[in-house]
Amino acid sequence: MSDAPPPTEKRKVWDVPTRLFHWALVGTVLTGLYLGEYRGFSTIQLHFYFGYATGGLLVFRVLWGLFGPAPARLGRLFPSPRALIGYLRHLFDRRPSAVAGHNPVGALSVLAMLAALSVQVVTGLCAEDDGLFSQGPLAEYLDAATVLKMTALHHTSSRVVMALIVLHLAAILFYRLWKHENLVTAMVTGWKTVRRDDGDGPA
Amino acid sequence: MRIRSLTVIAALATVALPALATADALDDAIKARQGYYQVVSHNAGMLFGMAKGEVAYDAAAATAHAKNLEALAVMNTASMWPAGSDNLSKAGKTRALPVIWETYPAILDKQKAFETASAALVANAGTGLDGLRANIGALGASCKGCHDTYRAKEF
């Protein structure tokens, strides 16, 4: 605790496509969850469209993770055990992480979110609703037992997505209140206060 | 020796045959009610298709499907639900949960909801697409209302 905080600087960390992706995903996922939770005969088609949009965003995110700038790269979502342990050791320090991108724990939560949303989209394409006589576009190619399994999975994984959203918000609050680090502003403006010795170049 | 074994076989057959017949009767009942729901699903599916615009709206056809549903809703299907034809006793063959029998006659409320919803469609499905759309949601809700409580999510 006695060591001086490392020198920091303001840097552009999140590029425009990554930020647009993030906030568009907030919109499609929350709307999709709402429309799914309170689905009705007249709105289920809308639920499908928001699901397709979510799927499109996920595909974009994977491509951007391959070709985009360093902080958005997919490799950054798989922290080494060493980096993870090193970060966890200081997780509860009352100072900003000042990481130029995803910190190792945040990376895992993003990975979990992307995985859960992928499951949500794929199972949704194969699911059916027996009260609305609606089914995802791939359901007709599957046998009945598989469609039932996909439907059950779709409902279960929606709860996983909700839990991850709550965790996401809780983590943001924790960083804001405990670590005095504002992650939301960084995701809005792209600018983040980061350690000068954090190797990533600007976006 | 030979006569004795024949006697044993005959005795066994006498004991086992009714059991086999019972198993067959349960399977038949399960098949019958699944066929019943196929017919329900077909008629409801045609109405949902029209309501969604996937099938061209036809007032006479819509009314006919609604009348079929109403007839199905009031049909006495008691013989299709013998005790022992639940999804624990007949795993893999049915999704009917034991709670149907445990809480009987509570499930009849669901059938009543089906009857009410189809009667509303008989009155309105033929009056135009709006009349169909305004009443089809209640039909789907009556399907789902029963499935949520009385049917397993998977086989």
CB contact under 8 A, B51 and A152: no
How close does chain A come to B9, measured CA to CA in Å? Answer: 40
Res. B24: pLDDT tops 70: yes
Q: How far apart are the first and last CA of chain A?
A: 32
Query: What's residue A201's pLDDT?
Result: 46
Report yes or no: A134 and A40 within 8 Å, Cβ to Cβ. no
Looking at residue A51, its pLDDT comes to 98
Q: Element (H or E) spanning A190, and its range?
A: none
Summarize pLDDT for A7-17 with one digit per residue, the tens: 899 999 999 99
Please report which confidence band the pLDDT of residue A160 belongs to, taking 50, 70 and 90 as the band edges. Answer: very high
Q: What confidence category does residue A162 fall into, taking pLDDT thresholds of 50, 70 and 90? A: very high
**Mean pLDDT to the nearest integer, A175-195:** 94
Q: Among B88, B111, B110, B142, which residue's Cα sits nearest to residue A130? A: B142
Task: Calculate ∠ Cα A22-A28-A34, nearest 5°.
Answer: 130
Q: Mean pLDDT across the stretch B97-101?
A: 97
Chain B contact probe: residue of A37, A39, A41 with most B CBs at under 10 A = A41
Distance CA A16, CA A202 (A): 12
Which of B44, B133, B147 shows the shortest C-beta gap to A133? B44
Cis ω for the linkage preceding A79 (within 30 of 0): no
For residues B102 and B27, the answer to whether their CB atoms sit within 8 Å is no
Contacts for B114 with CB less than 8 Å, ≥ 6 apart: B69, B73, B139, B142, B143, B146
Ordered domains of chain A (ranges, CATH): 12-195 (1.20.950.20)
First to last CA, chain B: 47
Q: Rounded to two decimals, what is the model's pTM?
A: 0.84
Which residues of chain B have a CB within 8 Å of the CB of A129? Answer: 144
d(CA A3, CA A1): 6
Give the nearest partner residue to A145 out of B44, B45, B155, using CB atoms: B155
Q: Where are the domains of chain B?
A: 2-150
- Amino acid letter, A97: S
The CATH classification number of B2-150 equals: 1.20.120.10
Asked if pLDDT for residue B16 goes beyond 60, the answer is: no
For A78-131, the pLDDT digits (tens) are 999 999 999 999 999 999 998 988 999 999 999 999 999 999 999 999 999 988
Question: Is the confidence at residue A4, as pLDDT, over 90?
Answer: no
Q: What is the mean pLDDT of residues A147-160?
A: 97
CA A153 to chain B, closest CA, distance in angstroms equals: 10
